[in-house]
Structure 1
Amino acid sequence: MVGSINIEMALKEGLKSLEPGILAEANRNILYVDEINLLDDNLVDVLLDAAAYGINIVEREGVSITHPSNFILVGTMNPAEGELRPQLSDRIGLHISVSSIMDLEDRVKIMERREEFENNPKRFREKFTDKQDEIQHKIIKARQILGEVIISRDLMEVIARICVDMGVDGHRADIAILKTAKTIAAYENEHAVNQDHVSEAALLVLGERFQKTSYDQNKIKKMMEQAESELSQKKKQENKKKLPSPAGDKKRGMKLKTLEKEEQPVEEDYEEADIKKLLKMKGKKIKRLYGKRVDSKTQKGKYIKSKLPKGSYGDIAIDATLRAAALGSKGSIKVDGGDIRHKVRKHGAKASVVLVVDISGSMFSERKANRVKGILIKLIEDINRHQDKLSVVGFKGEEAEIIIPTTRRASSFQEQLDNIRVGGTTPLASGLKKGFEILKKEKIRDEYVPMIIILSDGMPNVGIKDGPVLDALKIAGDLKEKEIRTIVVNFEKTVKYGHEFNMDLALAAGGRYYDVEDLKNPGAAVSRILDYERTLL
């Protein structure tokens, strides 16, 4: 993506030569990213910097080259595979949700048009030439009058109210709705923005948030009407307090976030506990890897030796390259292609931790929700401190969902934690399966030590194929076969059956079982358990 500097040419000819990456090729173009929510954190940082400043800086071996990188970013994603990182989502102006077409007539038309195009592509394009020309003309006209489009202050206040009611951080969304509404007005050859323009713009800009809270176009209009009504009353009664927001959260379930006065605060009191006494099952011994030197798959890590290149691109080892060139040169050193050497880098192995957490109806109590929230907070703090990777998988209802996609910056996902809701059945097997799939990929990359932590009251009641219990135990067996460190944490003493099943689950996975049910603050204990487990990884 970033590109590179042609070190070979720099050595041979003394010239700065850029080997352009995607960001260079995207300059003054459209950059399309598929599955944008699955981008690695380091690529997200590079993408954000280029989008913000319009330039890309390539630095290698003390040589630096800057080139322009102005582009329109278009990304697609499947929300079921993980949410878009907040820092990236905030920079994307428009969010458009696409759903399947269920109308039979429309589906038939799609097939007919596909057939028509494949039979005669040229005739098909000519059929829509007039329509395309009409759209092109409207776009050109809109560009000409865009600077003349105006918007009333009342509509600006409506935009601000919608963003406040939706809990939007910062001001990018307000400005994006404003600009989008003016653009829509210009496209429709209108010189003044109206309510419909603002409504459509709000859906485009806040589409992702509206989808999460089950809002549709009609409800957006109701929000606007409510906002206008409130603003009108506010002007009449300026000395009175602001009316409460009319847009309440209509989702069912109980949030893990507990902020009301009558609710108990998240337990964070320090509590000393002997970790070895909490360990009830030691599990299968595995080879220690955590902290040991492993080959780096990127250009990060300590340079320890050089090697012959396997491809045309790589991390060139200048010292080794010059040594190889010197052996074959007479007089002045001349670098040939066969002299090039690449760096071998190593770094201390870190852990990739997947937390599989029960957010089903069995957790529907203030006490349980508090304990789960406390554990999540402490785990994220611990993961950040050790620079490990973390994924959080929650399971409830009929399937599991990725709450935090694999990242080394889990603290950026605080909003996702605050919005977790408990309720529904307990599909433990689905949660284990999703966690297992994430860690299988880590095993293939062979750069991070995989670990799964299962946090549940041990009462599965939804299966995948053979039943809730058998399915869960089968996936536990898969974890054992792949030698993935499994930690089962039992934190609820009110359920005897759950206590016993958690032990069976740990046994099937060849994992370790901890019992923190008697602790007031299990979050601190789980954090210390993770520290202890790192010494054994």
Structure 2
Amino acid sequence: MKSNSKTTYPFTAIVGQDRMKKTLILNAINPKIGGVLIRGEKGTAKSTAVRALANLLPRIEVVDGCMFCCNPHDKNEMCEECIKKTNNGEPETSHRNMRVVDLPVSATEDRVVGTLDIEHAIKKGEKRFEAGVLAKAHRSILYVDEINLLDDHIVDVLLDSAAMGVNTVEREGVSYSHPASFILIGTMNPEEGELRPQLLDRFGLCVDIEGIHEASARVDVIKRRVAYESDPEGFACQWKGSEADLRSSIMNAKELLPDVRISDDMLELIAQICIDMNVDGHRADITMMKTASTISALNGRIAVSEEDIREAAELVLSHRMRRKPFEEQSDNRDKLDETFEKHKEKQQENKEHKDNPQEDEEQTERSEHNGQNDDGSSDDGGGIPDSPSETTFETGETFQLKPMSAEHELKNRDGSGRRSKTRTNSKSGRYVKSAIPHEKTTDIAFDATFRAAAPNQLGREKDGKAIALHQSDIREKVREKKIGNTILFVVDASGSMGAQERMRSTKGAVLSLLIDAYQKRDRVGLVAFKGQNAELLLPPTSSVELANKYLKDLPTGGKTPLPHGLSKGYEIIQSEIKREPDTCPFIILISDGKANVSMQGGSAMEETKRIASQFKMDGIQSTVIDTETGAIKFGFARQISDALGAKYLKLEELKSDSIVDAVKYSIVG
């Protein structure tokens, strides 16, 4: 058996996943497309394909001794040192293989962009750059697995560098820039949370993939994997011919690409597609043009065709379609077909107009179209309190949320998100001020350190240094960042919630809060209680889309086991705190408070209050939304809210902005 430490699984041996492989090949031919985001479940050959791609690309010529592997024939891809070498004569060069540079999810900003050696600057008065991931990725492939789990500001840095081809590092008033041109490939599992639309738009192409469902193809996957693991080199030799053919196709396409032309008629088609698909901005138009031209070159043609544009549109638009949070992704092929049909009709009209202008005018007068609206109605059942039968209500209206204005006391936590400000000991946060360190630190605030040392320079021995520093001068950086919360919805799904469509309004309110959680990168969970017990429908997850799915399908019926619901919620929150001590837990209880099923045979209401008091003792923040309606009210939810130490809100307040503000204020952290 031979070692596979240096033998990569062949690209052409990957079974299926043709769309994914096509997007990778297109970016290899034309890196200016802007990279690709591959979305799909685990175990679908995403990582395998990315690593295999590097073997298809030719060796590159680099400047000897350059940490950035600069291109000796293009000053636009050179660092300052290589430009100086070139100006003084031809620099020495060598060749190296293309490589895949991995970016770990835990990477800090300094690890990504690099940093400046401040100690060297103090001693020598010279700038010295310590390379980061972007420097190593220049003229190579930068692979980011689980890119949706990276902090937003790290993703921003990656995409900015990918778009500009330059990475700029600024530290303590010292600035340094270097080339950073790379093929950016990101992969993610949508169930673990989505990227913000603004970040999605920065990826040139996007492809959604799933596992293979054909038995014979899955058998091929197994056989090929076993053969590769048994004899990696022998397996690679079997695919050597197909690998060479594909490599040749890529090289031919790269050579042909500069000669590819796209007519004004095709450009107009691209623009019309983006208009009809309701795409924001102009990045989609430009990327579609580049992608269609690359497809044409790959097919050995120098004129872009409609089919090239159709294929490009499917890869460029899937992640750019304007849609509201939780709105299901629709199949837009019919709309795309309509655009192409209109384009063909317009071409035909233009042709006929040249032949017979008068007939064209008459046709224009007849081209009006009428629309007909269909009205529909639905019957919503009322529901009987604590009825054993179950009814699934639709989700009611959602609310536009106001910007959050309140902040609680800052605490030191790690994590990511966009809701609560927190102090952090990691270097991924924003530098807001300096402080005297209580212990040894590596995160030195050099500006504050220099200010502390400046008044004492006349009386200190410098030993040839530009500035003499003592231990007492050292200041450390105090950093802040934003993190998300862990929000657990505990929802009453008993029969009484069906009366007067209260569950419909409740679902609308929860969806409003889920939209806010989606935007703030919170983790959310869902507990429902009805009948004789409570059930965890969704453990806390960053995929709030899953929470919305379970909420939408949640039926209503049965008795009200409120103690079970709160107990299950407490159990889940405690588990989350043990698993992630830095989490900001928060519970939202939605119920009328009419508990009538106990856990131990006593008073269900007293059990509920006793469990609620435990939340208060542990400092777990909460809000109670009282769904009780009618002229006669018992106020049970108010009593539970008092026991919880929670913010109390009434059902009739759901349609005002006050509920949103109150809940948002409570969950700041």
TM-score by length of 1: 0.67
Aligned to 1:290: 409
What is the deviation of 1:198?
A: 2.9
Q: Which of 330, 337, 350 is 1:225 aligned to? A: 337
| Segment drifting more, 224-233 vs 184-193 | 224-233
What is the deviation of 1:141?
A: 1.4
**SS of corresponding position for 1:229:** helix
1:6-21 equivalences under 5 Å are: 6-21=117-132
Which residue identity does 1:425 align to in structure 2?
L
**SS of corresponding position for 1:204:** helix
Distance in 2 of aligned mates of 1:255 and 1:181: 41
The answer to whether the 8 Å contact 1:151/1:182 transfers is yes
Deviations 1:263-292 (A, max 9, x none): xxx6899xxxxxxxxxxxxxxxxxx97247
Aligned to 2:239: 128
Distance in 1 of aligned mates of 2:122 and 2:663: 51
The answer to whether the 8 Å contact 1:457/1:499 transfers is no
Is 2:553 the counterpart of 1:424? yes
Q: Unaligned regions of 5+ residues in structure 2, if any?
A: 1-111, 350-359, 373-392, 413-421, 529-535, 557-564, 594-603
Against the structure 1 CA distance between its residues 289 and 167, is the aligned structure 2 distance closer, same or farther, given a 3 Å change threshold? closer
Which residue identity does 1:43 align to in structure 2?
I
**SS of corresponding position for 2:581:** helix
**SS of corresponding position for 1:57:** strand
Aligned to 2:218: 107
1:28-427 equivalences under 5 Å are: 28-151=139-262, 155-208=266-319, 213=328, 220=333, 222-232=334-344, 235=349, 238=364, 240=367, 290-291=409-410, 296-297=424-425, 298=429, 300-306=431-437, 309=440, 315-316=445-446, 318-319=449-450, 330=461, 332=463, 334=465, 343-346=475-478, 352-355=484-487, 391=522, 393=524, 400=538, 423-425=552-554
**SS of corresponding position for 2:437:** strand
What is the deviation of 1:500?
A: 6.1
Which residue identity does 2:649 align to in structure 1?
D
What is the deviation of 1:164?
A: 3.5
Against the structure 1 CA distance between its residues 452 and 495, is the aligned structure 2 distance closer, same or farther, given a 3 Å change threshold? farther
TM-score by length of 2: 0.55
Q: Which of 625, 629, 636 is 1:493 aligned to? A: 629
Distance in 1 of aligned mates of 2:371 and 2:440: 65
Which residue identity does 1:227 align to in structure 2?
T
Against the structure 1 CA distance between its residues 268 and 42, is the aligned structure 2 distance closer, same or farther, given a 3 Å change threshold? closer
Against the structure 1 CA distance between its residues 515 and 371, is the aligned structure 2 distance closer, same or farther, given a 3 Å change threshold? same
The answer to whether the 8 Å contact 2:277/2:335 transfers is no
Distance in 1 of aligned mates of 2:257 and 2:247: 15
Which residue identity does 1:296 align to in structure 2?
T
Is 2:650 the counterpart of 1:519? no
The answer to whether the 8 Å contact 2:587/2:622 transfers is yes
Which residue identity does 2:620 align to in structure 1?
I
Against the structure 1 CA distance between its residues 162 and 36, is the aligned structure 2 distance closer, same or farther, given a 3 Å change threshold? same
Which residue identity does 1:452 align to in structure 2?
F
Which residue identity does 2:432 align to in structure 1?
G
The answer to whether the 8 Å contact 1:307/1:343 transfers is no
The answer to whether the 8 Å contact 2:625/2:650 transfers is yes
Against the structure 1 CA distance between its residues 11 and 425, is the aligned structure 2 distance closer, same or farther, given a 3 Å change threshold? same
Distance in 2 of aligned mates of 1:205 and 1:304: 48
Larger Rg over CA atoms: 2
Distance in 2 of aligned mates of 1:359 and 1:190: 62
Which residue identity does 2:127 align to in structure 1?
K
Q: Unaligned regions of 5+ residues in structure 1, if any?
A: 246-252, 259-265, 270-287, 407-415, 460-468
The answer to whether the 8 Å contact 1:353/1:391 transfers is yes
What is the deviation of 1:28?
A: 2.0
Aligned to 2:389: none
Which residue identity does 1:116 align to in structure 2?
A
Which residue identity does 1:290 align to in structure 2?
E
Aligned to 2:136: 25
Q: Which of 566, 581, 601 is 1:444 aligned to? A: 581
User: Considering only aligned residues, what root-mean-square deviation do their CA atoms show, in Å?
Assistant: 5.4
Distance in 1 of aligned mates of 2:157 and 2:572: 28
The answer to whether the 8 Å contact 2:200/2:319 transfers is no
Deviations 1:87-119 (A, max 9, x none): 211110111112011222222222221221122
Against the structure 1 CA distance between its residues 10 and 426, is the aligned structure 2 distance closer, same or farther, given a 3 Å change threshold? farther
Which residue identity does 2:219 align to in structure 1?
V
